[in-house]
Amino acid sequence: MTTSKAPVTAPAPGESGPDQGRIPAFLSWCMVAATVAWSLRELRAAVAAVAYPDDNSLHQQMVRFATAQLRAGHDPLTTWFPYLGLGSPQFMHYQSAPAILTGLAGLVIGPDAAFRWSEYLLWCLWPIAIYGAARVFRLSRLAAGFAAVVAPLLHSAPAIGYEQHAYLWAGYGVWTQLWASWTLPLAWALTWRAAADRRFIGPAAGLVALTAALHFETGYLAFLGVLLLPLMAPGELRSRLARAAVTLLAALLACAWVVVPLLIYARWAGLNQALAGTPMRDGYPLPELLSWLVRGDIFDQQRWPVVSLLVGAGLVAAVGWRRGGPGRALAVLLGASLLVAAGRASFGGLVSVIPGSQDLFFRRFLMGAQLAGIFLAGLGAAELAGHAARLAATAAGWLRRRDLGWLSWAPAAVAVAAGAIYLVPAWPSTADLASANAADVGFQQLAQADEPQVAAAAAVIRRHGPGRVYAGSPSNWGQNFRVGFVPMYAYLESLDLDEVGYTLRTASLMTQPEDHFDPGNAADYAVFGIRYLMLPALPAVRGGPAPPPGAVLLLRDRLLRVYELPANSYFRVADTTGSITASRASLGRRTAAYLRSAAPGEDHYLAVGYAGARPAPLTLPPGARVAGPPGTVLAEHADLARGRATAVVRLRRPGVVVLSASFDPGWRVLLDGRPAVVQMVSPALVAVRVRPGRHTVLFQYVGFGGYPWLLLLAVVSLLAVTVLTIVKAQPGNGE
């Protein structure tokens, strides 16, 4: 009687298998631990308490706001974020899950400390996530260990991907991307496993949805994995596609609490028109990306291509495999990410097939190529290490045969030393960046300790009447008006002052008109609700302008001057004397002429017909001549952090009461206790028509109310798909 044996298939290079798993687990974890320890030491300056000069100033402010809302028992997702762009439902339009999670930690240790430590630990511990995802991909311990080692060594030409410089204090402040850098590797790995084993469908869908909630562009890469990875996985194609469809549906249901509000309110989110036509929004031409890849500028910009050569070795190994494996899948993900990063710059209007393409910054998708490259570099390094180990073993045997056994350790030692020396060009470059960052942080600490005048100025502003602050913008003298390295308009964020000038930070409809604000036009200050002007103490040196007519000096010291414009506040009683039509793509352009005119100073506004709606009826016919505004504001109280603003007004003829806040359909108004119709006036402000007499006007923001049901849908869908797939995958159930 003969016994047949199933054919044994050797594992693909870099995958776990009998000949690949001999490296002890503790050794691979030592590689990870050493990498983490190095980052923890080199980047310890990240926890210093200093203001941020980049987008992290916004992120930290969102964390403070989330902590305050949670402490008060409010849902940050449904609140009005008042500080930038004349306010917006920022936690709905922006990827706010990181701010809310960190805000929860802020309830215990304080929001600013929670933010600083989150950035420090998320980056320094990231190699752990890379190692874990590599093991879920079923890469060998050695390949996973090498992937973890190279993970923090990347440096690209844009320098805004998965690389140390993007997250340093002196970097780009892409903090929400950092959160999603932990989930995308696992989302890809679990999606790969789910294509062959339905038990992984629930976890894969959950990680894909979580990635989308943490960072939108990274979420697109996670869904890209759902579309591509099942085509590369082993197994029967029909089954793989069926599992992929279930994963996709479950992931969409699980992230509906993020996606559905965005879709419903998409037309009310401002577009960043200032960056239209630039690589930051449109991506990079594909030939340029391929040139970067060949020259090593995606992984090793301005240094010896240490990581790039390992990526190349991984690609060679992946392409040469006779059977499918994660290496081939990773190679496809690298290529697909490069194609998406080419975006509108290479494919023009074709990118409109991508949902939400108008709001995407295509260059950010280069991080997908970097992540795939990290895993491929681990594969390549493991392959080279395997060849080196075999050569070392051969050399050791040769030495023993010649009675030189006492030197048999030398070949292995030489191989290890060669590997360490190979990484030398990468480690010093990252260390130099960390050292320069620490020096900048130290300088900023000294500058802030020596500048208590800003805190005193903020206290003066808070003691006076309601209104916003203007301290310059990125496009004018504001760039040179600084506390240390931090421009004053960014420094004011750390003090939670409502300001105008830090442009293009949010998706409010006023973000484009704000970019057209003219500090030389006194009328614009009233439109934007600017009551305080903060200028350098030495305008001839710093480039600050002269204060507008009627400004009253409140404070002057060796750093700054603070002026008050007493006639300005959050409310105006005005007329609508004309109308325009606009959409989210044209609002800034359509209102620029209005801001350049004298109409704002005459309390004349334009009724805006937005997104196909008809403009509201005018209070004055075009060309009518009247003396002064139709009424006055007798009293007002604004608590925009709670989405409330109240005014008592008196009108002698019909007019509009204008709240200097960005228009959003969530605004409601009560006129003498009764609901009234909210309308949009130029540039994109909230207003209500009021008849003659004395009236009390209450504006109240009401956020999207469907979050509890959508979050319940996410939980139920993930639980259902997990239970069903696990039950079906039990022994005897066909999997």
What's the CATH code of the domain at 611? 2.60.40
pLDDT at res. 21: 43
pLDDT at res. 576: 95
Positive or negative: CA dihedral 509, 510, 516, 521: positive
For 587, other C-beta atoms within 10 Å of its C-beta total 27
pLDDT at res. 420: 78
Q: Is residue 279 part of a domain?
A: no
The mean-pLDDT minimum among 305-309, 312-316, 493-497, 724-728 falls in 724-728
Q: Please say which residue of 564, 580, 612 terminates a domain.
A: 564
CB 157 within 8 A of CB 144: no
pLDDT at res. 540: 54
Q: Is residue 512 part of a domain?
A: yes
pLDDT at 170 over 90: no
Indicate whether 624 and 691 sit together in one domain.
Answer: yes
- In a 13 Å sphere around the CA of 322, the CA atoms on its Cβ side amount to 3
Indicate whether 605 and 552 sit together in one domain.
Answer: no
Q: Which residues contact 184 (CB under 8 A, 6 or more apart)?
A: 211, 218, 221, 222, 368, 371
- 372-385 confidence digits (pLDDT tens): 999 999 999 999 88
Q: Which residues contact 58 (CB under 8 A, 6 or more apart)?
A: 84, 173, 493, 505, 506
Mean pLDDT of the 220-245 span = 91
Indicate whether 500 and 547 sit together in one domain.
Answer: yes
pLDDT at 734 over 50: no
Mean pLDDT of the 88-95 span = 95
Indicate whether 547 and 521 sit together in one domain.
Answer: yes
Q: Is residue 317 part of a domain?
A: no
- 518-570 confidence digits (pLDDT tens): 998 888 999 999 999 999 987 654 556 788 888 999 999 888 999 999 999 99
pLDDT at 114 over 70: yes
Cis peptide before 683 (omega within 30 of 0): yes
At residue 468 the predicted structure's pLDDT band, cuts being 50, 70 and 90, is very high
Question: Among all chains, which residue has been given the structure tokens 């291509």?
Answer: 305
Q: Please say which residue of 76, 100, 124 terminates a domain.
A: 124
- 639-670 confidence digits (pLDDT tens): 999 999 999 999 999 999 999 999 999 999 99
Indicate whether 685 and 578 sit together in one domain.
Answer: yes
Domain carrying residue 518: 451-564
Q: Is residue 172 part of a domain?
A: no
Indicate whether 534 and 581 sit together in one domain.
Answer: no
Give SS3 for 463: helix
CB 36 within 8 A of CB 433: no
pLDDT at res. 24: 76
Region at 664 (left for phi over 0; alpha for psi -120 to 50; beta for the rest): beta
Q: Is residue 388 part of a domain?
A: no
pLDDT at 709 over 60: yes
Q: Is residue 214 part of a domain?
A: no
Q: How big is the CA angle at 704 (ends 698 and 706), to the nearest 5 degrees? A: 140
**Which residue(s) pair with 300 in the sheet?**
155
Give SS3 for 701: strand
Indicate whether 589 and 618 sit together in one domain.
Answer: yes
pLDDT at 15 over 80: no
Indicate whether 504 and 611 sit together in one domain.
Answer: no
> Residues of the chain with pLDDT > 90: what percent?
70
User: Averaging pLDDT over each range in 10-19, 105-114, 278-287, which range is the top one?
Assistant: 105-114
Q: Is residue 655 part of a domain?
A: yes
pLDDT at res. 414: 78
Indicate whether 554 and 586 sit together in one domain.
Answer: no
Indicate whether 585 and 677 sit together in one domain.
Answer: yes
Q: What is the mean pLDDT of the chain?
A: 90
Q: Is residue 133 part of a domain?
A: no
For 650, other C-beta atoms within 10 Å of its C-beta total 15
Q: Please say which residue of 516, 533, 564 terminates a domain.
A: 564
Indicate whether 520 and 582 sit together in one domain.
Answer: no
How many independent structural domains does the chain possess?
3
pLDDT at res. 18: 36
> Residues of the chain with pLDDT > 70: what percent?
94
**Which residue(s) pair with 533 in the sheet?**
470, 563
pTM, full prediction: 0.92
Indicate whether 557 and 630 sit together in one domain.
Answer: no
Sheet with strand 552-556: strands edge to edge? 499-500, 468-470, 530-536, 560-564, 552-556
- 387-417 confidence digits (pLDDT tens): 887 887 787 777 777 777 777 677 777 777 7
